[in-house]
Structures are given as C-alpha cells and as structure tokens.
C-alpha cells in the first residue's frame, strides 16, 4: 500500500469512529505520545529541545518502531528556542529525571483586568509581553523582537518538516489547520494558561467574576473571532484531508465546579456546537485531568460529531454515561510501563471489545506518555501492533 | 534600524511591516501571521 493510501485509510478510520455511519475497519490509534519518544530514540531532553534535527530523528524513530495512526507532534514541548531568545527562561529541563516542567507564570496582575478588557491587544502587546520576555523591554526592543520572529519562523519551518515526515509514514494531519477553533484560543483557557495562572484565576473567578467574564469576551474578540471569520467561505462538511476538524484541549476546566463551568466555559462550547452543526464538522476533545463532573454538559454534545479523550476517569463508565460521544483513551501507562506484553494486549482487547463493539472508540493512553516508566518499548510495540491487527 | 516595537498600535504595525517583510505585501496575510506569532508567544 502506498503511503498516500495508508494516510487516506487512517483518516477514514477516524471519520468512521466519530461519525458512526459505519463501523471503522479497525479501531484507530491516537498515540498520546510526548517526550518519551525522545528518550526512546536515545537522546536527552536538553539535546532535543535545543535541536530540531534531533526532534525530527526522534519522530522518525517512533514511526519506524510503533504503528500509531496519529502521533500528535505539536512542537509545543519545544518552544524554548523561541522563548529564550526573547528572555523568558520558564522551562526547566532535568536530564537526570527526564522531565520538563514550566513555572506557573503569572505576568498579569489582578488590577490589570480593566486595561485588558478595554483594549486586549494594547495591554498584551505593551504591558504583558515585556513582563514575560525581558529583552522586549525598552525603546530598542525591535532587535529582540526581530530575533524572536526569526526563531518563530524556524519553529514554523520545523513544523512544516514534521508534516513532511508524517507524509513519509502515511500519517495524516490530525486536525484542520484552518479549523475554526484553535486548541487554546478561547478566553478562559488563555486567562488560565497564559495570563493569570492556576492560582490567580482561581481567586479571580470568586472575587471578580464579572471582570473574568468581560475579559473572556474581550479576548475572544481579538483571537477567536478572526479565526471564525477566516473559515467563512470554506466548504461545509468534514475536511477529508485531516482526521478531525477541531481538536480543543481542555485544561482550565480542572479548577472549575460544574456551576462555574456553566458560567465561564460552557458558552464557548455552545458556540462550538452551533458551528459544527451548521458546518457539518467533527471534533476530538483532549481533556486533561478529571472531567467526570461535567458529564451533564457533555451529554448536550450532538451525536456523531464529538470524540472525548479523558485522562483520569473510568472510561467504561464514560461509555455508558455519554452514549452520544465516541470515547477515547483508557490504556493505563502503569501497564505499559510495568506489566508484560501479554498483560498489555489483554487489556487492549478488553478496551476494544467493551468500548469499540459499536465502532465508536479511539484507542489511546489515559496519560501523556512522557517519562521512561510510562511504557517499555516491548509493551508499546506489542500493544499498537495488537490494536492495528485486531478485528474484534 | 532600532525602534520601540512594543507599543500599540504603532510598534505592532511597524514590526508587522519591517519584520515580516519576507511575506507578500498582503495586509491580511501579514496580520494573520502576526496574530499567530502573538498568540504563540503568549502561550509559549
């Protein structure tokens, strides 16, 4: 089979698993693979994150050894060449522990809300970015900005080369790059991940909920609305060159109660539901942390349009409670890291038999595979080969 | 040439023209790239 044909086959697997008109030929594999592949290829994190060539070699090594249908290389574990060039050193790489961590950055203060709300672009450009990137301070900031843009262009080139490697191995783009809603580009996630941090936003939603709501609206006007506008005029229907159309990542929901979720987050999903219904699109939600307390909301997602990957929840229970969704995840890294290949393939069989009997399951791990103990080579290879070959 | 790039809209617009001059002279394209850069470095 040609790589182009393999890519088409993989795209169809995801379409069938989510749209559900017919059962997919087999259960697709969404590899929840992150920095583990760098270590598995024999490199240190500090080497790889400073060298795009090593990252590309690591990706090739992964594809050559593990038959995943998608490996979501976003490059977002490797922005340090961009951030450090402008004077931000928030990433901490520990080669002894094989870990990358990032400080909970908070460069927006509670008293900045009014400035953010009145003119988000002005506040973020003039005030926020020079706080975050120390070389962007001062009247000669153009030199540092130029270097930052040049490094961003190199990062973009790297992502283009990742796309070429994907083509070589018959791996499709996972989501539509022209999709209407980017991963993080909604106001609440931006406040959480980029502006106020976990602690700051947790206080704000209690002390200044109206300002948080106004800030969400103002941020969406700047970042989400142009993206929505850009998609007007693109063809209706799911993009057959990608596995899914939209791939939102939920992280900020982890600090919310259901009542707070309804107020601060759900309006974003209501817009998304309207969009995907009108434009006939499909969505794969990557939900980090615990999501079970939001199932009453997720039941409102229209049938045959949404898949949901959960990390910390019982996926068998989710299958029963959310029959409107395609479920994804469930493979424990404890097994992949510590059990035998037989234990792993037995569990993968159970997942497929109990979750994929109707075709509405996408195999994946219940945790981002990052550390050496998250999987052994033998277990990962045996598991992916089993899922690829098993027909139920 | 040095200038104060971190003012809005003056520095932002100047940076868009000066630093993205490898792109076609199409305002929509340059604004889209600038916005992506802006959002990315907020996130990174």
Q: How far apart are CA A176 and CA A254, in angstroms?
A: 26
Contacts of residue A288, defined as CB under 8 A and 6 or more positions apart, other chains included, come to A249, A250, A251, A254, A311
**HSE-up of residue A333 (Cα within 13 Å, Cβ side):** 18
pTM for the model: 0.94
The predicted model gives A229-233 an average pLDDT of: 72
Which of A148, A211, A308 shows the shortest CA–CA distance to B42? A148
pLDDT surpasses 70 at A156: yes
**HSE-up of residue A377 (Cα within 13 Å, Cβ side):** 11
Q: What is the ipTM of this complex?
A: 0.95
pLDDT surpasses 80 at A115: yes
Chain B residue with CA closest to A136: the answer is: B6
For residue A141, the chain B residues in CB contact (below 8 A) are: 4-6, 11
For residue A133, the chain B residues in CB contact (below 8 A) are: 41
- The answer to whether A81 contacts chain B (CB < 8 Å) is no
pLDDT surpasses 90 at A9: yes
Query: How much of chain A, in percent, has pLDDT values that exceed 90?
Result: 83
Condensed to tens digits (0 to 9), the pLDDT of residues B5-18 reads 999 999 999 999 99
CB contact under 8 A, B43 and A76: yes
CB contact under 8 A, B2 and A142: yes
Q: How far apart are CA A298 and CA A379, in angstroms?
A: 33
pLDDT surpasses 90 at A103: no
Distance from CA of B26 to the nearest CA of A (A): 15
pLDDT surpasses 80 at A74: no
For residue A182, the chain B residues in CB contact (below 8 A) are: 39
Question: Do A184 and A247 contact (CB within 8 A), yes or no?
Answer: no
Which of A315, A307, A370, A320 shows the shortest CA–CA distance to A347? A315
């Amino acid at each position: 089979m040609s790589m182009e044909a393999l890519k088409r086959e993989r795209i169809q697997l995801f379409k069938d698993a989510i749209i559900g008109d017919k059962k997919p030929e087999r259960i697709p594999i969404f590899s929840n693979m992150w920095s583990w592949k760098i270590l598995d290829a024999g490199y240190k994190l500090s080497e790889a994150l400073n060298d795009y060539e090593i990252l590309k070699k690591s990706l090739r090594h992964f594809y050559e050894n593990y038959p995943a249908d998608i490996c979501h290389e976003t490059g977002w574990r490797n922005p340090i060449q961009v951030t450090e060039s402008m004077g931000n050193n928030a990433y901490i790489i520990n080669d002894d522990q094989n870990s990358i961590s990032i400080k909970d950055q908070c460069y927006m203060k509670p008293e900045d809300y009014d400035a953010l709300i009145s003119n988000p672009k002005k506040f973020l450009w003039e005030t926020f970015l020079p706080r975050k990137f120390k070389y962007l301070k001062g009247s000669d900031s153009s030199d540092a900005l130029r270097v930052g843009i040049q490094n961003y262009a190199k990062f973009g080139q790297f992502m283009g080369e990742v796309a070429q490697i994907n083509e070589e191995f018959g791996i499709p783009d996972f989501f539509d790059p022209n999709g209407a809603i980017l991963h993080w580009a909604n106001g609440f996630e931006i406040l959480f991940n980029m502006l106020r941090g976990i602690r700051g936003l947790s206080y704000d939603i209690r002390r200044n909920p109206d300002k948080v709501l106004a800030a969400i609206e103002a941020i969406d006007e700047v970042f989400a609305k142009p993206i929505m506008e850009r998609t007007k005029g693109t063809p209706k229907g799911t993009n057959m060159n990608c596995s899914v159309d939209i791939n939102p990542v939920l992280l900020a929901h982890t600090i919310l109660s259901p009542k707070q979720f309804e107020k601060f987050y759900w309006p974003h999903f209501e817009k998304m539901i309207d969009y995907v219904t009108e434009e006939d699109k499909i969505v794969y939600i990557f939900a980090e942390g615990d999501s079970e307390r939001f199932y009453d909301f997720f039941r409102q997602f229209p049938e045959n349009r949404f898949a949901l990957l959960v990390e910390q929840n019982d996926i068998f229970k989710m299958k029963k409670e959310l029959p409107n969704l395609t479920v994804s995840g469930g493979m424990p890294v404890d097994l992949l890291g510590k059990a035998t290949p037989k234990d792993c393939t037995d569990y993968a069989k159970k997942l497929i038999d109990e979750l994929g009997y109707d075709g509405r399951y996408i195999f994946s791990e219940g945790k981002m595979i990052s550390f050496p103990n998250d999987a052994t080579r033998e277990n990962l290879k045996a598991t992916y080969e089993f899922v690829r070959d098993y027909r139920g | 040439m040095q200038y104060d790039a971190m003012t809005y809209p003056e520095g932002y617009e100047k940076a868009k023209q000066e630093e993205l001059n490898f792109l076609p002279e199409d305002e929509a394209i340059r604004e889209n790239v600038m916005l992506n850069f802006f959002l990315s470095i907020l996130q990174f």
